[in-house]
Each structure stands twice: as C-alpha cells, then as structure tokens.
Structure 1
Amino acid sequence: MLAGLIFATDDADDRPGTLAATLPFGGLTLIEFQARLLVGAGVSQLLVVVARLTPELLGAIARIGRRGASVDVVRTAVEAADKLHPLARVLVMADGLVTTGDVLSLLTEEGGDALLTVSDHDAAPGFERVGAETAWAGLARLDAKRVAEVAMLPRDYDFQSTLLRVAAQGKAAHIRLPAALSGGAHGIERDSRALATRGTLMLAVLVSKPVVWADRYILAPLARLALPPLMARTVPSVAMAAAGVLLGLGALAGILFETASIGVALSIVAALLFTIGAALAWLRDEEPLAAFQNLAIPGLAALAALLLGHVTSMRDGTATGWTLGIALVVAAALSERAARPGGKRRWWGSPVAYLLIILPFTIAGMPLVALAAAASYAAITLAAAIEGFREKP
C-alpha cells in the first residue's frame, strides 16, 4: 500500500496568515497540485499535516477528496501513525514543495527508506541539510514505522524535521536529483510571486517532453513563448480549446474550398493552440479538457489528410487521393499503436510532422505528392516501430 504525507503548516512569506500550501498555483492551490502528483503516482491514502485549519485549506482538502483517494487531516505524528497502515510505504512531500511527476517517479519504485537529495552546493532555499555536503530535496519514501518512531518522541518537536532526522539516522538511501529531470521546476516556495514563476517553469517542463522532432523543436518552443503571458492573464484553458476548435474548423473549410495550403497551415496553428490548452488544463486539474485537446491534435490531422484526399480525388476524378489519405491515416495510427512506451525516436513521424510534410507540397500545388510523401513517412515510421517492438518485446 502506498500512502502520501503532505505537510501544510508554514505561512507564506509574503502573505502573513495564509498557509503556503493554499497559495494559488496555476488555477489550483499548491497542496491540490501536490496531491494530484501523489494520486497519479498510485497513492490511495493521503495524510495532510496541519498546524491550523483555514477556510482555504478546508476547501482544498474537500476538492482533493474528490480525486478518489482518502484524505485525513492530522496535527501530530501520533495521529499520523494511528491513521497509517503498519505495512504502508509513505511518500513524504515537504511543505511548499513544487516538483514534477518525473521526479516523484524516482521514489515510487519498490525499495526501502530513501531520501531525494542534492549536493549542498546545488541546494535551493528551504532544503534541509542531511549531511556535511548533502541537502534533502523535499521528497522521501519511508516505512510507516518511521512515523511511529517520531510519534514516540516529545510532541513539541517539529514533525517534518524530526521525521527527516529519524530517516537519516536510519540509514535511508540517498537518491540524487538529476538536474535535467526537473527542468528547473523543482524547489520549495512559500512566496506567491516566486510560486507563480515556478508555475510557468512547470508548464515549460510539460510542453518540452515530446521526443519527436516536430513537437519538440516547433510546437514546444512556441508554446513556451506563449504560456507566460497566458498564465499572467489567467486565460481560461477552455478558451484555448475553443480557439483551437474554431481554427480547426476553419482549416477543414479551407481544404474543402480548395485552399489546401491555408487549411494545412491553420491545422498546424490549431495543433499549437491545443498543445498550450492541454498544458493549461492539466495544471488546472481539468483532465477531461486536457484529454480532449490531446486527442484533438491527431484527430484534426487525420481529418485534414482525409479531406485533402477527398477534394483531390473529386477534382481529378480518380481514387488516388482517397487511397493516399486513407493509407496515411492508417499507417500513422498503427505506428502510434506499435510504438513502445518511451521507445519513440527523434526522427519519427507525428500528427504535426505529417502536416509539416504536407504543407510545402500544397503550397506548390501538388496535393497528391504531399499525401504520398506523408504516407511514405508514416510507413517508414511504422516499420521502425514494428522492428523496435520485435527486437525488444
């Protein structure tokens, strides 16, 4: 059983009387974002350690409870030990910690007590020292008995610091935080302005993950440029989704009325809007909207390819356009299906990559060549995916 322990006791540095855990973070509160990461990592029980309950914290805890995990509020180590199953493994998250799912995954694997650490030279403000040259990076995986050991100590001891000391004295393993994995988004923040900056970095991490060249080198950089002003103006993620849908419909209309190059270009811009909107929706806990936009990108690319083939076949009086459009969509869909998790290569095709291949040929007035080139690219990608699957089943 995997349990989560979140500390929410310290006040914000720039907002006296406001808990740092309840500061806004991308449309949520910070503690809701932390809980999302833990639930996503497989946690079924959440314990929130508090010093006092505020209306903002109560509201956040109520919303966390709707995510499917049980949520208990505790004030002391004694209460926490009573709530935890004796055999539970506990993921501990420091007060005010901002991190990513990739960083958290370092501690979700099987194993004994472990502390996420950084060198003292690289330690961010708020990281507690656990050695002469080592600092705790705010995450730990501990046995429930460590909490029970803290419960046996005097109650006036600081729960978080004491738990860390007990784990360190118990020879917990140290897992180094890879700098490249966090993307600069990992740290402890109790200042609302600094937390807003962390939110922007978090979004940059979210949109920089793609491996395939088209998404990584074209969509992701443009999305990173657009996200900070959108976050600053609190643009609703549903507005980005609506803009993407409207632009996508305009793209399909452009292809239908035989302005294929404009239609394909608009499809690429719509994919960019969906990428930005999906990142915003994910951070704001709007998962259905994020899932819709992630699916809208391949859906729009498929419709654009099929419609381009249809228009070309109707114009030429042959079935070539239909055949190439269907072949492209089928090969692209199968290559996505055949790709192993984490097994994609930089040069492989993607929905946006196929649109980028199609665009210059449609500008030159050669839609059949455009579809043939994209379909060939999809077929090569499919062959590579199948070969990779055969080599490493």
Structure 2
Amino acid sequence: MLAGLIFATEDAEDRAGTLAETLPFGGLTLIEFQARLLIAAGATQIVLAVARMTPGLLGAISRIGRRGVTVDAVRTAAEAVETLHPLARVAVVADGVVTTGDTVALLAAERGDTLLVADDGDDRFERIGVSTAWAGLALIEVARIKDVAAMPHDYDFQSTLLRIVAQSGARQIRLPKSAESTHGIERDSQALARWGNAIVATLMARPERWADRYATALPARLSLPPLLARGAPSWAFSLGAAVAGLGGLAAILSGWLAIGLVVLLAAMLLATIGHTLAWLRDEALPARLLAVAAPGMAAASLLAVGGATHLALGWALALGAVIAGGLVERIALAAWPHRWWSSLTAAPIVMLPFALFGYPLVALGAAGLYATATLAAAIETLIEKP
C-alpha cells in the first residue's frame, strides 16, 4: 500500500503565525493540493507531521478526509511509526513543496528508497551532495522513519529523515527538465497564490472535441485564475447557470430562438466554471450535478427548438438529434474522439446560424445530421480497433 507523509511545520514568510501549508493554493490550501496529488497516485492514508494544530490545519484535515482516505496528524517520528502500516511505502512531501501529479506519479512508480533530486541551484532545496539537492519528494520504507524515532527527540524530523534516507544508499532520480517550471518550494502567500492558479489551470480537462474544447473548457480555463484569486463560490455559478438556462429555454419556447440559444450557451459556460470550482474544492454533489448540466442544457435546447416549431416533424427531428447525440457521448467514452466529432455541446452552436434566419427545422436537421455522421464515424473507429 502507498501512504503519504506531508510535513507542515514552517510558518509562512509573510504571515506570522500561519502555517505555510495552510496558505491558499488554487482554490484549496497547499496541504490539500499535496494530499490530492498523493491520493491520485494511489495513497490510501495521509499522515501529517505537524508542530502545532491551527484552525486552518484542522479544516484542511477535515476536507482531506472527505476524499475517502485515512488522515492522521503526528508530532514525532515515533507517532508516525505507530500510525503507518508497517509494510507501507511512504511518499514523503517536504514542507512547502509545489509540484504536479506527473512528478508524484513518477516517484510513486519506484521501488525501494528513492529521493527526487535536482541541481544545487535553489537554496530552498536541502543539499545532500556536492552538487545535488533534495527536491522535496521521496519514497521510503517505514523502517527509515523507525530509524528517526530511535534518535533524540530534539532532532528536526524532516531534515533527520532526509539524512538517514540519503546515507542509507537510496536511489536518486533527477527532477525532469520538463517539470522544473512547475516544481519548487514556496512559503510566500502571494507567490503561492500565483503559482497555484497557474498550476490548477493546467489541471483542467482539455476535451478533444471542438465544441467542448473551445466553447466551454477554454473560456472556463482562462477565467479560472482571477476567480480563484477572489474566492468565487461554485454555488454562484450554479445559480447563474440555472437562471440563464431557464431563461434561454423560455426565450426559445417564446419564439426568440437565436437569443435563447445564445443565453443557453452562456449558461453552459457558467455550469462548466461552476463544475471546475466545485471539483477543485471537493464539493462532491455539486461537482457531479454540474458535470452533466452543460450537456443536459444542450439536449434541452434541441427539445425546446423542436417544441417551438409546433410541428410533429420538429419533435421528431429534435428527439432524433438528442438520441444520436446521447449515443455519441457514450461511444466517446470508449473511443478516442477526433477534433471534428460532434457533442451535445455542439448542438446549440450548430443550430444558431439557422435560427438567426428563422429556419428551426433546418437547424434541427443540421444538428441531427452532424450527430449521426459522428456516430457513424465513431462506430467505424470502434470496429477498426485491433
């Protein structure tokens, strides 16, 4: 099993009395972000090595626990040994480390004691050789922590553990060049906020299909850093998406097709932003609901346009487009989609130019034909798979 050991002992450089690990980082605290990376790498237990408990740390511990892992706080190496499973592999995260999931996964895939090292050019990294410094991540056996527990208690836990692991002949792997710009140690609140917003923006999903990628995901990603910096709540975007979505559907049913579709597209963007904020903050239920809100509104736009025609043909075209679009969404989970493929998000965009000139049946036919063509291409892709 994999466990995580995160050190949270140092104060922020510009906030006296505040632990650096509890500083805001991409909508979370730094320690929550580190825990999320460890959990994504397979950790089932998170142990926090702390010097003192603070309200911010207690809140972070509670939120980390909601992700379905065991969370414990310890003050000494002896307490850590008692808490950890004796056969666990322990991923160690130094105080103030900023990194990415790829770097943590690289280390977690190793076997035996391993240190992530970098060139000795950053004075925030602890030196372990003539020209080598510890980059703040390690993978160790519980036995190394037992060695620290056997030493006098006035030793610094993190530094002593590092020395013992380094002297035991641990393997050293170098921090990849590609990761140098997204890896470091930081305890300044403003620098952490900037760094966190930039890293979290890169974590957002980049859908392959054009409508999902450019109509919702890209604007959401661009708006994320200022929203995180201001602490924007996800519920505000959920409420905005609901109001705009209902307003857009009402406009379509009232005969204002083009205006309604534009408002619905705005509602879908708000839902995407709200989903991202909820996902970042581990708001499980809002994240699940908002994940299906945008495609749900797109499907509703098809049915609304069909209803606005007041014709059986309009309803038939709308239902056919919704069914084809739904099948495309299912198949896209099993087949790697191409950029040109349709999606439910694409439906209001495809219909918009025809709605502007007052051709709702043509709009529905175009959306349905596009979804059907994508469905046929997706089926062929699955058939051709070896």
TM-score range, shorter chain: 0.7 to 0.9
- Whether contact under 8 Å (2:148, 2:160) holds in the other structure is yes
1:248 maps to: 245
Q: 1:202 aligns with which of 194, 199, 203?
A: 199
1:362 maps to: 355
Residue 376 of structure 1 pairs with residue 369 of structure 2: yes
Q: 1:188 and 1:368, CA in 2 relative to 1: closer, same or farther beyond 3 A?
A: farther
Count of equivalent residues? 385
1:31 maps to: 31
SS state at 2:6 partner: strand
Q: 2:287 aligns with which of 270, 290, 295?
A: 290
Deviation at 1:255? Answer: 1.3
Residue 61 of structure 1 pairs with residue 61 of structure 2: yes
Aligned residue type for 1:270: A
Q: 1:284 and 1:264, CA in 2 relative to 1: closer, same or farther beyond 3 A?
A: same
Q: 1:271 aligns with which of 268, 273, 294?
A: 268
| Whole-angstrom distance in 1 between the partners of 2:248 and 2:307 | 15
Residue 49 of structure 1 pairs with residue 42 of structure 2: no
| Whole-angstrom distance in 2 between the partners of 1:305 and 1:107 | 48
Deviations 1:189-210 (A, max 9, x none): 2111112212321342243532
SS state at 1:351 partner: coil
Deviations 1:54-76 (A, max 9, x none): 33323432443344322222222
- Whether contact under 8 Å (2:41, 2:108) holds in the other structure is yes
Is 52-61 or 9-18 further displaced after alignment? 52-61
Is 195-204 or 298-307 further displaced after alignment? 195-204
Aligned residue type for 1:333: G
Identity %: 55
| Whole-angstrom distance in 2 between the partners of 1:188 and 1:170 | 24
Q: 1:366 and 1:113, CA in 2 relative to 1: closer, same or farther beyond 3 A?
A: farther
1:386 maps to: 379
Deviation at 1:177? Answer: 4.2
Aligned residue type for 1:220: A
Q: 1:349 and 1:179, CA in 2 relative to 1: closer, same or farther beyond 3 A?
A: farther
Deviation at 1:37? Answer: 3.5
Structure 2 spans left out of the alignment, 5+ residues = none
SS state at 1:280 partner: helix
Aligned residue type for 1:326: L
| Whole-angstrom distance in 1 between the partners of 2:250 and 2:154 | 68
- Whether contact under 8 Å (1:3, 1:44) holds in the other structure is yes
Deviations 1:163-192 (A, max 9, x none): 344445534352644737x9x654432111
Written as runs of structure 1 = structure 2, the 5 A alignment for 1:139-178 is 139-153=137-151, 155-168=153-166, 169-172=168-171, 174=173, 176-177=175-176
Deviation at 1:93? Answer: 2.0
Aligned residue type for 2:149: A
Deviations 1:279-323 (A, max 9, x none): 2222223222122211101110111112212322x1xx342x223
TM-score with structure 2 setting the length: 0.86
